[in-house]
Amino acid sequence: MGGVTERTDGARGDGESFDQLCALVAAGGVVALSGAGISTDSGIPDYRGPNGALRRHTPMTYQDFVGAPGARHRYWARSHAGWRQIAEAFPNAGHHALARLEQAGVVTGLITQNVDGLHQRAGSRNVVDLHGRLSRVMCPDCGQQSTRRELDARLRAANPDLEVADAPTNPDGDMALSDSDVARFVMVGCATCGGDRLEPDVVFFGATVPRPRLARAIALVESAQALLILGSSLAVMSGYRFVLRAAELGVPVAIVNQGPTRGDGRAVVRVDAPLGSVLPRLADALVERGTAAQAG
């Protein structure tokens, strides 16, 4: 494998670590894994950062969602409120820079733990939505799929007087609501069969990633020349497994994240700096370098 072979501290995002990051990515064949940290500049909080959602919010598990109608009702009430902020979010400089790196041919694939769809909106094409997408809804009774915007329109019609307080939205689209707001929220059923068990097309905490999707993500890592971790603490096995697989294969791992990660000991390059500044700078450097090489 080409690229960097020595791990650097990079705690200040210094020039040496950035140059090594450039060298690793410039060699091409890079697969990126993004976490909630890449979407914070779009107004969507992460889970484990200084203001992370886990400090105020315990995500609902799939077991609670399917096993308790009251919990499912609460989820949809809070998600109906939070979805608006997710839907109105725009890709930030980090998303756009990563799309530029794919267009330049150095990033060959992207695995994202996020459910906001911002990578695709920024122009990334070869994306595996590891945990699904909030923009899709499924009915387990009839198998019908629909868009979240369609459901949102029906929920707005059913809840015309539901005023949503200005509260932080979590990465899973959940927004805090009062018990009284949850109680008066009216949920609608499937537009096709009328079933009352609609589910968002996301992987809940406690659920597993669908096997075909996981297989596609693993295949990307196994074909990579380098694995680039962006904005993930790797605290859960869902993301950390790819670092472990890369290590088994001898694929070098680079990590750009604010704060420590579970994978730091396995990284050959470690940059602790905001993605909104590192990724645009990286894209500028490599695109300019590629343009210069073509001109020469």
Task: Give tens-digit pLDDT for 224-245.
Answer: 999 999 999 999 999 999 999 9
Say how far apart CA 214 and CA 237 lie, in whole Å: 12
Partners of 32 in the beta sheet?
A: 110, 228
**Residues in the annotated binding site:** 35-55, 113-116, 139, 142, 190, 193, 231-233, 257-259, 275
| Cα distance from N-terminal residue to C-terminal residue, the chain | 26
Tell me the torsion sign for CA atoms 180, 182, 183, 186.
Answer: positive
What single DSSP character describes residue 165?
A: P
In a domain, 8, yes or no: no
Residue 126: alpha-carbon gap to chain centroid:
14
Q: What is the pLDDT of residue 162?
A: 77
**What backbone phi and psi angles, to 5 degrees, belong to 145?**
-110, 145
In a domain, 5, yes or no: no
In a domain, 77, yes or no: yes
Q: Give pTM, 2 decimals.
A: 0.88
Q: What total number of domains does the chain contain?
A: 1
Please, what is the Cα angle at 112 between 275 and 152, to 5 degrees? Answer: 105
Query: What is the identity of the amino acid at 65?
Result: F
Say how far apart CA 202 and CA 195 lie, in whole Å: 19
Say how far apart CA 236 and CA 261 lie, in whole Å: 10
In a domain, 203, yes or no: yes
Query: What is the identity of the amino acid at 168?
Result: P
**Residues in the annotated binding site for Zn(2+):** 139, 142, 190, 193
Domain ranges, residue 158: 15-295
The answer to whether residues 139 and 196 touch, using CB atoms and an 8 Å cutoff, is no
Confidence of residue 4 (pLDDT cuts 50, 70, 90): very low
Q: What is the pLDDT of residue 246?
A: 98
Confidence of residue 205 (pLDDT cuts 50, 70, 90): confident
In a domain, 7, yes or no: no
Say how far apart CA 36 and CA 45 lie, in whole Å: 7
In a domain, 1, yes or no: no
Partners of 229 in the beta sheet?
A: 33, 255
In a domain, 97, yes or no: yes
pLDDT tens-digit map of 109-131: 999 999 999 999 999 999 999 99
pLDDT tens-digit map of 147-172: 999 999 999 999 998 766 566 666 67
**Residues in the annotated binding site for NAD(+):** 35-55, 113-116, 231-233, 257-259, 275
Residues in the chain: 296
Provide the annotated active-site residues: 131
Q: Provide the CATH number for the domain around residue 167.
A: 3.40.50.1220
In a domain, 246, yes or no: yes
Output the six-digit token pair for 32: 């990126």
Q: What is the pLDDT of residue 6?
A: 37
pLDDT at residue 71 greater than cutoff 60: yes
